[in-house]
Amino acid sequence: MNPKHVVSKSLGEEYYYLKHPSGLGIYIHPKKDYSSNYAILGTNFGSINNKFRLKNEKSFTEVPDGIAHYLEHKIFETPEGDAFSLFAKTGASANAYTSFEKTAFLFSCTDNFEKSLNILLDFVSSPYFTPENVEKERGIICQEIKMYEDSPDWKVFINLLGAMYKSHPINKDIAGSVESISKITPELLYKCYDSFYNLHNMTLCMVGNMDPDKIFTIVNKKLNYSMPVEVERYFPDEPHDVVKNYVSQNFDIKSSMFNLGFKENILPFHRATNEELVYTDIMLSYFSSPSSEMYNKLLNEGLINTATFSGEYLEGPGYASVIFSGESKDPEKTSEIIRDYMRKIHENGLDREAFERAKKAVYGRSLSVFNNVKNIANLTLEFDFSGKELFEYMYILQDATLEKVNNRLKKELDPNYSSLSVVKPYEK
In this structure, are residues 66 and 179 in contact, taking their beta carbons and an 8 Å threshold? Answer: no
Question: Can you tell me whether residue 122 is helix, strand or coil?
Answer: helix
Distance (Å, rounded) from C-alpha 98 to C-alpha 105? 9
pLDDT digits (tens, 9 = 90+) for 262-271: 999 998 889 9
pLDDT at site 288: 85
End-to-end CA distance of the chain: 68
Backbone angles phi, psi at 318, to 5 degrees: 90, 5
pLDDT at site 185: 94
Question: Can you tell me whether residue 225 is helix, strand or coil?
Answer: coil
The answer, yes or no, to whether residue 80 has pLDDT greater than 80, is: no
pLDDT digits (tens, 9 = 90+) for 232-276: 999 999 999 999 999 999 999 999 999 999 999 998 889 999 999
* Residue 45 CA: distances (Å) to CA of 7, 91, 97, 177, 396: 30, 29, 11, 18, 28
The answer, yes or no, to whether residue 290 has pLDDT greater than 90, is: no
Polymer length of the chain: 428
Distance (Å, rounded) from C-alpha 187 to C-alpha 117? 28
**In percent, how much of the chain has pLDDT > 70?**
100
- 326, containing H or E segment: strand 319-327
| Residues paired with residue 39 on neighbouring β-strands, in sequence order | 107, 206
In this structure, are residues 45 and 55 in contact, taking their beta carbons and an 8 Å threshold? Answer: no
- pLDDT level of residue 428 (50, 70, 90 thresholds): low
Distance (Å, rounded) from C-alpha 96 to C-alpha 107? 9
The answer, yes or no, to whether residue 68 has pLDDT greater than 90, is: yes
DSSP 422: E
In this structure, are residues 242 and 291 in contact, taking their beta carbons and an 8 Å threshold? Answer: no
pLDDT digits (tens, 9 = 90+) for 359-406: 999 999 999 999 999 999 999 999 999 999 999 999 999 999 999 999
Nearest CA to 318 out of 269, 263, 354, 367 is that of: 269
pLDDT digits (tens, 9 = 90+) for 132-191: 889 989 999 999 999 999 999 999 999 999 999 999 999 999 999 999 999 999 999 999
- pLDDT level of residue 26 (50, 70, 90 thresholds): very high
Nearest CA to 274 out of 404, 402, 161, 168 is that of: 404
The answer, yes or no, to whether residue 21 has pLDDT greater than 70, is: yes
Active centre residues (catalytic): 72
Question: Can you tell me whether residue 4 is helix, strand or coil?
Answer: strand
Mean pLDDT of 21-29: 96
Q: Report DSSP letters for 256-290, one per residue.
A: -EEEEEEE----TT----HHHHHHHHHHHHHHTST
CATH 3.30.830.10, domain 246-425, yes or no: yes
User: Buried (b) or exposed (e) across 308-340, using 16+ Cβ within 10 A?
Assistant: ebebbbbbbbbbbbbbbbbbbeebeebbebbbe
pLDDT at site 214: 92
Q: Which residue has the higher pLDDT, 305 or 288?
A: 305
Give residue limits of the domains in the chain: 4-233, 246-425
SS3 content of the chain, % helix, strand, coil (to 5): 45, 20, 35
The answer, yes or no, to whether residue 327 has pLDDT greater than 90, is: yes
What CATH number matches the domain at 4-233, 1.10.390.10, 3.30.830.10, 2.60.40.420, 3.20.20.150?
Answer: 3.30.830.10
In this structure, are residues 102 and 44 in contact, taking their beta carbons and an 8 Å threshold? Answer: yes
4-233 and 246-425 share one CATH topology? yes
Least confident of 61-70, 124-133, 330-339: 124-133
Q: Which residue type, as a one-letter code, is found at position 182?
A: S
DSSP 253: -
Q: Quickly count: other Cβ atoms within 10 Å of residue 368's Cβ.
A: 10
